[in-house]
Amino acid sequence: MDDAPRVFLETFGCQMNRADSQTAMALLKEAGYQAVDDPLQADLVIYNTCAVRDHAEARVRGRLDGWKNRKRPGQVIAVLGCMAQRLGQDLGDTYPWVDIALGSDHMACLPGAVEAARAGERRLCFDATDDPDAERPAHHEGINAWIPVMRGCDHRCSYCIVPTTRGPERSRDPQTIQREVAAALANGQVQITLLGQTVDAYGRDLQPPSRLADLLRLLHPLPGLRRLRFVTSHPQHVDDDLLHCVRELPKVARHLHIPAQSGSDRILERMARNYSRATYLDLVERARRIIPGVELLSDFIVGFPGESDDDFQATVSLMETVGFDGAFVFMYSPRPGTPAADLEDDVPAAVKRRRCNHLIGLQLAHQQELHQALIDQTLEILIEGPSSGNPSRWQGRSLGNRLVMVPRDLIPAAQPGDLLPVVITAATNLTLLGRPA
């Protein structure tokens, strides 16, 4: 094994990219590679990139600039994913020392490209080649498997680069997904997360058409399954049938990631989100009525072109009205080629930052309250593994999405993958601490 070629892989962006990286790693292991943690020691250095905000790209630019004077003869540098897809040939021109650039949906040709690059041939390809229904080799670790159930996105939110980098919506065949999930379960991955940019739109492009609820019902009985999750949902496609399905299937997480983006109708319209504040609030009401205890997670963008103080206050009030269980807040970042990039980016950076901090502050204060109210209550958690911040504790997740830490010495026999009822003993605004019930 010691003379096996070494690969270093760093992943940016969403869970879809993480899943793609696992596929890349599985293919490279089949080709004889071993993974290393130090890029300087690697024969092959891979960045699987994100283009959703400039910040994500700036980090990769920094990594690539760093190789200019450091790359060893024979070392291969590869850039995969959304930033590669967005920049296309320009990436090769800007970074002549990059040997491989592959856009999205190219994983199957990675091993061939690596072989060619090691023989001195540069490979830059951006026309998707992967068959979405091909089975993906699994390289899961621990108890989690992230399984893409669809690729791409057919929405055209005006700020968003994803439809450009990931292409149109293509749902994968339910039987293929079922086989992949069964293989992951047989391998010990008891928590399965189904991935899609608009996962709740799953199946509408299939022949015959299918739905996410059908897929959940198909996968739920598979032996060994403990928890079944799905992300991300677009508010437009969450119908009552899906909500009832989540309530009826006991292993399906009572958790919806339904990004609101803004609370202002004027801004939602300019974002081309296809829903209004009122229909969003109606969805929240339906979700909470049909699924008792459902946890709601949202994304927000602040500083979208033309966002006035009043628009921002509408977002603040949406956040206060709903009381989300979690929220990601992003400062608007213009993406070249998207419709919003033609609008003037007129909210000053300092105002974006202030609005961003304000929403984060509100959210954390709300989480503090929610978490305090959970003290002395019992939650059933699925133990995921040692806590990254404190390995003397296990980290687990509730049937919703709450992170709970439990000191390992209280449960010496416990293992990742176990379900465990815990009583919450202490809380911060981010995590909960518990002991076995």
Give the residue nearest to ligand F3S (CB): 13
Please report whether residue 13 would count as binding ligand F3S according to CB under 6 A: yes
Contacts of residue 83, defined as CB under 8 A and 6 or more positions apart, other chains included, come to 12, 49, 50, 51, 56, 57, 60, 91, 165
Dihedral over Cα of 351, 353, 356, 362: its sign: negative
Task: List binders of ligand SAH among 311-340 (CB under 6 A).
Answer: 330, 332-333, 335
Nearer Cβ to ligand F3S, position 52 or 212?
A: 52
Please report whether residue 52 would count as binding ligand F3S according to CB under 6 A: yes
The tokens for 18 are 């993480």
| Run of H or E including 117 | helix 110-118
Please report whether residue 198 would count as binding ligand F3S according to CB under 6 A: no
Please report whether residue 153 would count as binding ligand SF4 according to CB under 6 A: yes
The tokens for 131 are 């068959």
299 binds, among ligand F3S, ligand SF4, ligand SAH, none (CB under 5 to 8 A by kind): ligand SAH
Please report whether residue 232 would count as binding ligand SAH according to CB under 6 A: yes
Other C-beta atoms within 10 Å of 122: how many? Answer: 13
How do strand 378-386 and strand 393-397 relate by DSSP bridges? antiparallel
Please report whether residue 160 would count as binding ligand SF4 according to CB under 6 A: yes
Q: How far apart are CA 164 and CA 149, in angstroms?
A: 19
333 binds, among ligand SAH, ligand F3S, ligand SF4, none (CB under 5 to 8 A by kind): ligand SAH
Q: Is 218 helix (H, G, I), strand (E, B) or coil?
A: helix
Q: How far is the CB of 156 from ligand F3S (least distance, A)?
A: 15
From first CA to last CA, the distance across the chain in angstroms is 45
Q: How far is the CB of 340 from ligand SF4 (least distance, A)?
A: 11
301 binds, among ligand F3S, ligand SAH, ligand SF4, none (CB under 5 to 8 A by kind): ligand SAH
Please report whether residue 260 would count as binding ligand SF4 according to CB under 6 A: no
Q: How far apart are CA 411 and CA 386, in angstroms?
A: 13
Please report, as ranges, the residues that interact with ligand F3S according to CB under 6 A: 13-14, 16-17, 50-52, 81-82, 161-162, 165-166
